[in-house]
Amino acid sequence: MEFLLLLCLLSLRVFTPSAYSNDWLSHGGNLLNRRFAETETKISPETVSQLRLKWKFEAGRDITATPSVFEGRVYFPSWDGYLYAVKQSDGSLIWKQNLQQLTGINSTRVISNVNVTASRTTPTIADDLLIIGTSGPAFVVAVKQANGELVWSTQLNDHPAAVITMSGTYYD
């Protein structure tokens, strides 16, 4: 019985590496894709009426995916064709990268009245990289978290209507 309990406790620790972290590493928050912050204690039905706007960031167009949060930075794509990194503390811009320039391909689609290479995927945190998929044509792009510099890009489909809408999951 003691061995079974120890094994269960070890398994819990191994399979929930970021379950109790304030970081939001992918579309589902963590490897378990639970989509909620387990350590959040300040927001409850009793305190929700006391919430106030902390900061506001004006992207060129609407934000297109759930943001990722890691080590005080928030990462997200927008319909304006940019990938953004802003400070979690005050919303100030750290860097932005044009997805069309990163892929080297002009957009082949008009999406939501926008004729740019855009993304509808949550940036996935993978070590020191952000990995994101694009729409029309379908690329997967990896940039450095620190400055948005391109590390690699791969075209998955050259069809003009190819779209990547599923956010990635990274497991090391």
pLDDT in tens, 154-168: 998 888 778 777 777
Domain residues for 109?
Answer: 2-49+59-157
What amino acid occupies position 84? Answer: Y
Output the pLDDT for position 31: 62
| Counted domains in the chain | 1
What is the CB neighbour count within 10 angstroms for residue 99? 25
Q: What burial class does residue 171 get, using C-beta atoms within 10 Å of its C-beta: 0-12 exposed, 13-18 middle, 19+ buried?
A: exposed
Task: Name the E strands within 4-133.
Answer: 68-70, 73-77, 82-87, 93-98, 124-126, 129-133
Whether residue 172 is contained in a domain is answered as no
Residue 37 falls within a domain, yes or no? yes
Q: In this predicted model, what pLDDT tens digit does every residue of 132-155 receive, in sequence order?
A: 988 877 889 999 999 999 999 999
Is 163 contained in some domain?
no
For 68, the token pair is: 């990722």
pLDDT of residue 3: 38
CATH number reported for the structural domain that contains residue 13 in this entry: 2.40.128.630
81 is a domain residue: yes
- Are 73 and 86 in contact by the 8 Å Cβ rule? The answer is yes
Average pLDDT, the chain: 77
* Residue 84 maps to a domain: yes
Alpha-carbon radius of gyration of the chain:
18
152: left (phi over 0), alpha (psi -120 to 50) or beta: beta
Give the burial class of 144: count Cβ atoms within 10 A of its Cβ; 0-12 exposed, 13-18 middle, 19 or more buried: middle
Q: Which residues pair with 135 in a beta bridge?
A: 118, 163
Q: Is residue 54 part of a domain?
A: no
- Does the residue 99 lie in any domain? yes
32 in a structural domain: yes
Q: What is d(CA 141, CA 132) in angstroms, rounded to the nearest whole number?
A: 5
- Beta-bridge partners for 93: 86
